[in-house]
Amino acid sequence: MLRGAKRASSQGLAASAAASGLLLAAGCAGYHVGPAGGIPAGSRSVQIMPFLNKTMEPRLVDAISVAVREVVQEDGTYRLDTHGEGNIIVFGEVIRFNRSALAFLPNSSLSVQDFTLTMSAHVTAIERGTGRTNLNTTVVGQTVIRVGADQSSAEREAIPLLADDMARNLVAQLTEPWWDTPGTHSSGRAPRP
């Protein structure tokens, strides 16, 4: 009797696993691996021009340049061009850097414990061959810092995290399926049908 119960339990477990596998496969049927937009990975290249800094905060543009290049390479949709021959040229300028209080010390409503750092950049992407502007938008990056004894050091250490968030948001917009679609508006969004 015990042997029959184990066999029935094993068969029920196997059937449950098979059903779960079928549901998982059916749920993922519409997804594909690889770059969005239908272009083969690495078939086009992008050149990232140095960003300009229109804020009073130093050190931002170097961190952004490094982060955008790293994220482009990591994403793999476009090849990173460093010799001035990219199919797409990306220009940008940092237009805002803000810090806002997120949390205060428990014993003082005037002493900030955590800040949110936000950086905005106006970004334009132009096709080298046609001169067509495919992306003309503002991209935002954000991170949170805990202020210790030295707020300046905490901000300095957070700048690469802030730049990485902005770079991921920028590359996501560059690799959207509407990117190569005719009729893309200068806002960087495809027109509504």
pLDDT digits over 91-134, tens only? Answer: 999 999 999 999 998 888 888 899 999 999 999 999 999 999 98
Query: CA 90 from chain center: how many Å?
Result: 15
Cβ proximity of 114 and 160 under 8 Å = no
Higher-pLDDT residue of 171, 2: 171
Rg of the chain on CA atoms, in Å:
24
What pTM was estimated for this model as a whole?
Answer: 0.73
Query: Is a pLDDT exceeding 80 seen at residue 34?
Result: no
Across the chain, mean pLDDT equals: 82
Domain definitions of the chain by residue range: 41-180
What pLDDT shows up at residue 109?
Answer: 82
Q: What CATH homologous superfamily does 41-180 map to? A: Lipoprotein like domain (3.30.160.150)
What pLDDT shows up at residue 110?
Answer: 86
Element (H, E) at 173: helix 151-174
What pLDDT shows up at residue 14?
Answer: 64
What pLDDT shows up at residue 114?
Answer: 94
Quote the DSSP letter at residue 38: G
What pLDDT shows up at residue 4?
Answer: 56
Strands 88-104 and 52-53: parallel
Among 83-87, 134-138, 157-161, 180-184, which stretch is predicted with the lowest mean pLDDT? Answer: 180-184
User: Position 183: which residue type?
Assistant: G
Quote the DSSP letter at residue 183: T
Residue with tokens 């079928």: 22
Split at pLDDT 50, 70, 90, the class of 185 is: very low
Higher-pLDDT residue of 4, 68: 68
What pLDDT shows up at residue 126?
Answer: 95
Q: Which residues contact 71 (CB under 8 A, 6 or more apart)?
A: 164, 167, 168, 170, 171
Question: From CA 193, how far away is CA 191, in angstroms rounded?
Answer: 6
Question: From CA 113, how far away is CA 97, in angstroms rounded?
Answer: 19
Quote the DSSP letter at residue 186: T
